[in-house]
Amino acid sequence: MGGFFTNTRKPEGLGGRLMVAMMNWGHAPVARWGRSFLRLKAGATILDLGCGGGANLAVLLKLCPDGTAVGLDYSSVSVNKASAVNCRAIAEGRCQVIQGDVQELPFAGDSFEQVTAFETIYFWPNLEEAFQQVFRVLKPGGSFLVCNESNGEDPKQEKWCDIIGGMTIYTGERLFELLWAAGLIKSRSHREENGNCLGFQAQRPRDGPHKKEAKTRPAGRKKNKTGAWGEG
């Protein structure tokens, strides 16, 4: 079983093609929930990291009828599927799907108004380094959305870390710390009512990096009544 489910980390071969198709369908509810927190302009420039089978790219392009979207994944199987799903937008010049590494994003700085990461950061080997790359490619004032189906507080979810090598489930508090360390501000988390989903939004400052105190948390950090994290 573990062999097949490792395709959630990096889809490969026939098993990977099956997994990508399953993820496009199976992740739809959590992705829909996460997208509800986005406030996108019609002409937004979007980067979807760990784009998988491209289902989110297709919806993001519909939400931004005058915008453009780039999907990045380090699995060639995912890139091929996402390219097929979004072939019309690619032909129109509104979409690109490329193979790449979140820790070495192949884009110039200040390129995107919105970066998204749906059900993917579990598998990023160095989250702080990847978040620093997100900071770099975001335009000043741009926003980063992370959406996870697991909030790191349900012990039953930890079994997946044993089944899938290289998987880490993060709590809201830990994500808050890592986003701040990468220079991202105005962090806000969202908790699914009666569920385990965790959404996190953060922003690149409009006027340069925030004044980071070495290895310290922002003084305004707090947990509200719903269990969500944010800057007070």
Out of 3.90.550.10, 3.40.50.150, 1.10.10.60, 2.40.37.10, the CATH code matching 2-109+131-142+155-207 is: 3.40.50.150
The predicted structure's pLDDT at residue 218? 44
CB 151 within 8 A of CB 198: yes
Mean pLDDT of 182-209: 86
pLDDT surpassing 80 at residue 195? no
CA distances from 50 to 44, 73, 215, 231 (A): 19, 5, 28, 27
Is the model's pLDDT at 123 over the cut of 80? yes
Is residue 196 very low, low, confident or very high in pLDDT (cuts 50, 70, 90)?
confident
How would residue 229 be classed by pLDDT, with cut points 50, 70 and 90? very low
- Is the pLDDT assigned to residue 200 strictly greater than 70? yes
Q: For residues 145 and 205, what is the distance between their CA atoms, to the nearest angstrom?
A: 15
Q: Which one, of 76, 69, 68, 117, lies nearest residue 100 by Cα?
A: 76
- Tokens encoding 142: 């741009």
Q: pLDDT tens-digit profile of 152-189?
A: 666 666 655 555 666 788 888 999 999 999 999 988 88
Residue 182 backbone dihedrals phi, psi, to 5 degrees: -80, -5
The residue type at 18: L
Domain extents for the chain? 2-109+131-142+155-207
Rounded CA-CA distance 137/110 in Å is: 5
Residue 232, pLDDT score: 38
Q: In this structure, what token pair is assigned to residue 102?
A: 């979140």
